[in-house]
Amino acid sequence: MSDLNYLTKETLAQMTEELNKLKTVGRAEIARQIAEAREKGDLKENAEYDAAKEAQGLHEARISQLQTALMSSRVIDAKNIDLSKVSILSRVTVTHLGNKKTFVYQIVSEQEADPKQGKINVTSPIGKALIGKEIGDIVDVVAPSTTFKMKIENISI
């Protein structure tokens, strides 16, 4: 599962749009900044030029990251998800057996993860513990500083 990125159509579209912007508008802007800094003279002591070149490196790294992620992406349609077990895009209701609090998580890819919205990465400790499990299962979540148990109450979309 770690070699593939499972995405929704919306996230795929967002990533593609970002990549296109970075390749067109972004590259043009950085080229302009580099040219502007070059005009100011000696490149050895030109902080603006160094900053523009560093920004160019970060920019190209992001382009490469997006291209790699998009090449290994697969779009998942919510209509095709098996609700008998936890899988990517599942919305899972769990009860923390230590404090009896109930949480709802959606299992998503790294690109879509947003813990504030309850979207957790499939490779996170909770995501790893839940994936492939069924309603009623009790899972051990091994986090960096603790281990705790959660019970799966419901699986939905």
Q: 40-51: per-residue pLDDT in tens?
A: 776 667 788 888
Q: Is the pTM of this model over 0.75?
A: no
Q: What is the pLDDT of residue 3?
A: 65
Show the domain range for 35.
5-75
> Which of these ranges, 19-28, 30-39, 60-69, 130-139, has the smallest mean pLDDT?
30-39
Q: Is 89 in the same domain as 142?
A: yes
Residue corresponding to tokens 């990125």: 5
Confidence band of 1 (pLDDT split at 50, 70, 90): very low
Q: Is 66 in the same domain as 53?
A: yes
The enclosing domain of 40 has a CATH number of 1.10.287.180
What 119-127 contacts at long range (C-beta under 8 Å, 24+ apart), as own/partner pairs, is: 122/1, 122/6, 122/88, 123/1, 123/2, 126/150
The enclosing domain of 112 has a CATH number of 3.10.50.30
pLDDT averaged over every residue in the chain: 88
Confidence band of 109 (pLDDT split at 50, 70, 90): confident
Q: Is 99 in the same domain as 69?
A: no
| Selection from 63, 64, 130 nearest residue 92 by Cα | 130
| Selection from 140, 143, 126 nearest residue 92 by Cα | 126
* H helices, E strands: number in the chain: 4, 7
Angle between the 47-71 and 27-38 helix axes, to the nearest 10 degrees? 160
Work out how many domains the chain is built from and give that number.
2
Q: 136-152: per-residue pLDDT in tens?
A: 999 999 988 899 999 99
